Amino acid sequence: MGPHVYALLMYTHAFVGKRVKAAVVGANGYAGMTLVHLLARHPEVELTQLTSRSFAGQPYSAVFPLLDLEGTFSTEPKPDGLDVVFSCLPHNVGAGKAGRWLAAGARVVDMSADFRLKDVRQYPTWYKQEHPAPELLAKAVVGIPELHERELKDAQLIAVPGCYSTASILALAPAVAAGLVGSDIVVDAKSGVSGAGRSLGMGVHFSEVNESLGAYAIAGHRHLPELTQELEALTSNALRVTFVPHLVPMTRGILATCYFDLKGSLADLQAAYKKFYDGQPFTKVLGQSPTTKLASHSNLCLVNVAAQGQKAVVTAALDNLVKGASGQGVECFNVAFGFDRTTGLEAVIQWP
């Protein structure tokens, strides 16, 4: 047995018979709320701290009336004694705090974009400021278990990717890895309104989005660089990706439809997807194009592989708050702490 495996076994053994002490920072947003619902029923987790600036001093029941959670929201977590911090803070906010949590001995699962991009030079372009903690970027593992399960087992800092990028990466990874993409890639993606978060804004006002469908961020969406980064890691070729998101008047769900010229046959492409996702508990290849409702409230990503002549058409559907965010965060947590990947993720999430 090598020292690396031995260390991992010893670390996993440390949690046998006791529950992992966890905090959720920013627990009143959609991602935070979904995390709390998942972790509250996780058999290996003890939720010890929930933070929220807007609900500070109020009981947990003010946000979670149906959960049997006792405690009061604080503004900042106390990291001493914590095993893991789930950070649901806005972009550019949690990065400056993560170092302190790590130094206190907690592992960090970050739900924002603060650690997704490996190239520090991209943050001013996509997030309008220099990175607050560039020294931590090399430590971060992108939280896609289908691609990075091995690295996640030792990760101290996990960067859960965005909802659009998760759907698009899982839709395209097998084709890219198998060398079956023969052209530029076009991704047409559509999301429910909860993907914009819980904060008020004209762009997600009911009267603005109801009975309406529109594209946005046409000049470039911030999930595009993480999508390109993860796909290019699977090939020696540079990729050109056009990504256009759309807002759909529904609460939750993402459908990504991906187009590219096909190298080889449709049978080759379908075989590549079947092999790539063989044994994966949450990414399923279907014989029909999936709908968002099929994946809704679950940690599933449902993929269909088809073609029109030599133009491949791959669709992927997932729930933007579960597999596209908090469910994938818990899945990564399970891998990092040596639990079964499906633990705490079998039942559906009802809110929002």
Buried b (16+ CB within 10 A) or exposed e, 82-104: bbbbbbbbebbebbebbbebbee
Which H/E stretch holds residue 293? helix 292-295
Place of tokens 């796909």: 231
Catalytic residues: 163
Phi/psi zone of residue 148: left (φ > 0), alpha (ψ -120 to 50 degrees), beta? alpha
For residue 77, which of 51, 52, 39, 56 has the smallest C-alpha distance? 51
Q: Kindly tell me the number of DSSP H helices and DSSP E strands found in the chain.
A: 11, 13
Place of tokens 């890639």: 185
Identify any residues that bridge with 243 across adjacent strands, giving them in sequence order. 187
For 153-291, where are the alpha helices, taking DSSP H only?
Answer: 163-177, 206-209, 224-232, 266-276
The three-point CA angle 43-330-160 to 5° equals 165
Distances (CA, A) of 174 to 50, 147, 226, 274, 341: 38, 10, 17, 9, 21
For residue 112, which of 197, 42, 216 has the smallest C-alpha distance? 197
Token pair, residue 125, equals: 């372009």
For residue 257, which of 187, 311, 191, 318 has the smallest C-alpha distance? 187
Buried b (16+ CB within 10 A) or exposed e, 178-212: bebbeeebebbbbbbbbbbeeeeeeebeeeebeee
